[in-house]
Structure 1
Amino acid sequence: MYEHDVVVVGAGGAGLRAAIAAQEQGADVALVTKLHPVRSHTGAAEGGINAALREGDSWEDHAYDTMKGSDYLGDAPAVETLCQDSPEEVIQLEHWGMAFSRDDDGRVSQRPFGGLSFPRTTYAGAETGHHLLHTLYEQVVKRGIEVYDEWYVSDLAVTPEEDPESRACHGVVAYDIKSGELAGFVAREGVVLATGGLGQVYDHTTNAVANTGDGVAMAYRAGVPIEDMEMIQFHPTTLPSTGVLISEGVRGEGGILYNGADERFLFEHGYANNAG
């Protein structure tokens, strides 16, 4: 049995950042992950991070573009929080040493991406996720946050009350992939699920083989309401048969897509504004 204030399941970009934030609030944090953190799928992200950093841009414009790109189905309060906080987060990552690409004058570079009315995408070459992941993991190591890597979380530990409103999560059940040890992780204050996507439910995906939707499944089994599962982004540019991603930056910098009949598509069919 292991006990901590907060148990974060998953150690990609979201899980690492959540663990850092919880520790900054004084919590004793555990990161439980089936992969070593630097093998997380965040490392495969190429494009960049949107943030309203430049004169002439604003978080309101960023929020409008985001809502428009979602066909106005996005959760408006969540979108506003994301867009308001993005500049501060990018600056924090830069202060932690993330190697953003820079303009000749030394400023963090920003480029146009799909669905944006302003070039607000910050990036680190074509390896933004790789640099982000290593920057955050360095902070986790520096802060001494406990990492249980190669532990597979199978279930949430919830109280058995029949009334869903009375149920509470008190930790997780996991086993050590290396030794087979089965153990409980008690979370005195809460559990954070940051377990990534579920791309492997599709025959063709750019997602890593580890993206099997474990966290969503365990939450569903525990009776946690699942929201917006139909909101899956389908990326329009990958290499055939291999599933290797062609960065959105290719289109953002003016790349044109042709089909096998040498005909332009995407823009002509009205999908361009939703491609980001």
Structure 2
Amino acid sequence: MMGLYKGPRLLEFAKTPQHLQFNKYVLTGYRPVSTAQECIRSLFYMHNELGNIYTHGVPFFLFLVLLPFSIPWMEVDSSWICAVHYLACLSPTVGSVVYHVFMNHVGGEHVYDTLLSMDMFGVCLVNTLGALPIIHITLFCYPLLRQAALLAYTLLSAYGIYCATTARTNILRLQAFIWQAMFRFLLFLFRVFGSGVGSPHSLRLFVIMDTLAVVGGLVNIIQIPERFVPGLFDNWGNSHQIMHVMVVCSIIYLHWGTLEDFEWIKTFQCPTEQSV
């Protein structure tokens, strides 16, 4: 496939536009400034963003086609949680693909910043939409508390989206998601030590989901393994690609955990005294 199109001469790190110089340990393989059509053609020749494109592009199409067949659309009490779960699983991959394909566009830093905001918006959506079914099921026996928690989480997520899409460093972007992780952690505690409900098997899957996402983010910030051997991982195996793979695995665990909850809630009946 990489031979379908002969690409342009690739650049070294120092010769790329300054806004693309965000990983000094990736030394070669940078695409020159390109038109939209040339950016699309870069799908068919080797460069240092190709792995980033395909590690999220292939999962996006697989999720798009396969996930609907595993979601019990007609068997859940509130069909909207199926829809938001499906969108949550798709959102981080589609934004990422668009960002990595067009990041070297001739529009320069302005276009780059817009694409980066789209990428971060997708990450925010998986955190926001992915948590709504967890809130709905955890607080299933407390309708008023459930509605309040859904509203609060949505409003706080809007603020988190603003912070993440306007942040200028990876550390600040990661910090924008911390409070969402804390909110989910409180939900998990309510399941374990309080009166929250949910599948006894899903909690472990959700913890793995968050762990993968956090570790992937840290790997990307620390820039390993390329930090230790600059130039060796320019095209394949660098920190951003590792993060991409861990994000995809995190989405899979989110899906598995949510399906466990969907299956469990079908036969669950709240105790009469808790249904308030």
TM-score by length of structure 1 reads 0.21
For CA contacts below 8 A with separation 6 or more, give which structure has more relative contact order. 1
More helix by share: 2
Report which of the two has the higher share of strand. 1
